[in-house]
């Protein structure tokens, strides 16, 4: 017997079997076993619902079978509820309270956000290459964020439509004036992590190699590839005789570790106020070349702003963490990182 009539007969047999099993259940544990067998997520009734959903039924048969399935589910749930109230719990025995043969319960463990995972992996690779991780404040002075980085006063990025300026923010008067503590300084939310490099160069003598992770803020409209808040990892190396060849070697070594041993990258000439010469770095992917970061040799005016002598050599680079994570995991929309969607986040163990 097949079709709707066959399924109807199977449902009658399933109901009779379930009620018979309930009648024979010796205690509440037995009743629970019947519930799992017939009404559990992978139980007999769930299989019939799946069969019903996937079947090609006539409209009249679909309505009739659907009504039968729902009615059977309600009757079995009522019978289980009644049996649970009547059946006494299994008596306690004098044996051991812990049964090592029972299956264990795996607790739900938290996990790191994919951006945190990406930042940690980026930093770990650069640390293997001799870099140290350094962090700094997210609220910065206009001087550190722009002027010390050779960004002129008329540069568009310094306008209020690109940068978040902090109204009325002032530094307490300590009697000691520096670009970091000037009470008259204009304050803002940093638009890149480069100001941390400025702070570091004022207080440390070369040679050194640092990477700077952190959040940055820009007045960008939110869409699939832009957000007003995102994460960067920038790097800086200062030392004698450093060249663009050293920069290329470091970034090629990092890319091979980050994306695989056969990864190809290329350098395209570009312009940044704080480096000269400057370049964009592209990564070769399945669909062509993808821009992943900017880099270059540190501009002499930047070294001058932090008090390092003429002739000082160094290179710098900076990348967006969200972009790296999107490329690695095939994510098409940056907003997924900030929506707290557990189904999305659970994909990253």
What number is the average pLDDT over the span 6-35?
85
Helix (H) or strand (E) holding 82: helix 59-86
Token duo for residue 60: 């009249």
Q: Does 97 or 345 have the greater pLDDT score?
A: 345
The confidence band for 93, taking pLDDT boundaries of 50, 70 and 90, is low
Q: Where are the domains of the chain?
A: 3-83, 114-167+184-346
Token duo for residue 211: 């990477």
CATH 3.30.70.100 fits 114-167+184-346, yes or no: no
Closest by CA position to 312, among listed 327, 324, 297, 323: 297
Q: What is the DSSP letter of 136?
A: -
Residue 234 backbone phi and psi in degrees, to 5: -110, 155
Residue 4 is predicted with a pLDDT of 76
Q: Which residues of 236-258 are buried (b: 16+ CB within 10 A; e: fewer)?
A: bbbeeebeeebbbebbeebbebb
Q: How far is residue 192's CA from residue 318's CA, in Å, rounded to a whole number?
A: 9
What number is the average pLDDT over the span 106-125?
91
Residue 179 is predicted with a pLDDT of 52
Query: What are the pLDDT digits (tens) for 257-287?
Result: 999 888 999 999 999 999 999 999 999 988 8
Query: What percentage of the chain exceeds 90 in pLDDT?
Result: 50
Cβ atoms of 193 and 234 within 8 Å: the answer is yes
Query: What are the pLDDT digits (tens) for 21-59?
Result: 888 888 888 888 888 888 888 888 888 888 878 777 787
What is the β-pairing status of strands 132-133 and 208-217? parallel
């Amino acid at each position: 017997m097949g079709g709707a009539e066959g399924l109807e007969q199977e449902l009658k047999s399933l109901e009779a079997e379930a009620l018979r099993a309930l009648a024979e259940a010796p205690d509440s544990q037995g009743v629970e076993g019947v519930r799992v067998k017939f009404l559990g997520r992978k139980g007999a009734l769930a299989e019939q619902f799946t069969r019903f959903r996937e079947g090609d039924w006539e409209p009249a048969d679909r309505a009739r079978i659907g009504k039968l399935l729902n009615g059977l589910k309600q009757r079995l749930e009522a019978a289980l509820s009644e049996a649970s109230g009547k059946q006494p719990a299994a008596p306690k025995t004098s044996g051991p309270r812990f049964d090592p043969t029972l299956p264990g319960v795996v607790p739900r463990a938290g996990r790191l956000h994919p951006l945190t995972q990406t930042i940690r992996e980026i930093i770990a690779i650069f640390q293997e290459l001799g870099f140290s991780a350094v962090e700094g404040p997210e609220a910065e002075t206009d001087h550190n964020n722009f002027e010390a980085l050779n960004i002129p006063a008329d540069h568009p990025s310094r306008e209020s439509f690109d940068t978040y300026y902090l109204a009325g923010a002032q530094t307490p008067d300590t009697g000691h004036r520096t670009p970091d503590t000037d009470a008259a300084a204009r304050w803002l939310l940093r638009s890149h992590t480069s100001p941390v490099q400025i702070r570091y160069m004022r207080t440390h003598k070369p040679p050194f190699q640092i990477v700077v992770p952190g959040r940055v803020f820009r007045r960008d409209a939110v869409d699939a590839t832009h957000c007003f808040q995102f994460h960067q990892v920038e790097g800086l190396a200062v030392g004698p005789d450093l060249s663009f060849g050293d920069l290329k070697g470091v970034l090629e070594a990092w890319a091979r570790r980050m994306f695989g041993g056969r990864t190809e990258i290329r350098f395209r000439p570009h312009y940044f106020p704080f480096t000269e010469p400057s370049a964009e770095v592209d990564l070769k992917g399945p669909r062509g070349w993808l821009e992943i970061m900017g880099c270059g040799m540190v501009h002499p005016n930047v070294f001058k702003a932090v008090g390092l002598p003429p002739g000082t050599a160094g290179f710098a680079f900076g990348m967006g963490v969200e972009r790296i994570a999107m490329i690695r995991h095939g994510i098409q929309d940056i907003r997924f990182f900030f929506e707290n969607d557990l189904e999305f986040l659970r994909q990253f163990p």
